[in-house]
Structure 1
């Protein structure tokens, strides 16, 4: 009978992604990506504006389906319309918040920008290299 166990004696241990690539390269690349990503996102300011519809605030109108759905669910917990209105109201509110976000990159020096983007690029390159057999 044939032995079905894997015989890994004499074989190099597997690296990142199951290839014989380097785990050290992967970890260093991942650390560079995290550092560059953190520095880059630390320079971003996010703010929100008012929801406008025909010149009036629209946030109150976005609450109507949610509140109707919640009311129907308290009346009958198995109400399909209650669940649909509640879910639709939640989606409308989350979508409205995301759509009205304003993202700004704060002023910084060219050197800092090059360091942030360089760390990201170097990290992605090392991670990609570690996943390749070499």
Structure 2
């Protein structure tokens, strides 16, 4: 019975856990410096969120009438994609100011941790 490392490879489980801890810490510190706010949907200066709901309402109506309606499914899926894309497009992402040392610490922890995870999961040559 042999003990395998992380991901079934001969890599080290300790290296994986250390990399995971570094990546989580770096990701948390980086995300802690980000402020996200929402904006309003605009089309020619007017609020247009309600306009994006029209295909959704028509699609749902067609699906209530006939659950196998291809047009109803297409309208509903297209409307959901439009709504999701509209939410993402109208987000405002701001990075709060941080010192260079803090920023480098966050990035080294994040990408160093990812590197340790990748290294622990890669198959190594068997030692002779």
Give the TM-score of the pair, scaled to structure 2. 0.84
Instruction: Quote the residue 2:79 is aligned against.
Output: 89
State whether structure 2 residue 47 is matched by structure 1 residue 47.
Answer: no
Which structure has the greater CA radius of gyration? 1
Give the CA deviation at 1:77. Answer: 2.6
> What is the aligned counterpart of 1:128 among 96, 114, 118?
118
Structure 1 runs (4+) greater than 3 angstroms displaced = none
Instruction: Quote the residue 2:105 is aligned against.
Output: 115
Give the CA deviation at 1:72. Answer: 1.8
Gap runs ≥5 in structure 2: none
- Match of 1:108, SS state, is coil
Gap runs ≥5 in structure 1: 1-7
CA-based RMSD of the aligned residues comes to: 1.8
Partners in 1 of 2:39 and 2:106 — Cα distance?
Answer: 29
Instruction: Quote the residue 2:21 is aligned against.
Output: 31
- Count how many residue pairs are aligned between Structure 1 and Structure 2: 124
Partners in 2 of 1:122 and 1:82 — Cα distance?
Answer: 48
State whether structure 2 residue 57 is matched by structure 1 residue 74.
Answer: no
Give the TM-score of the pair, scaled to structure 1. 0.81
- Match of 1:77, SS state, is coil
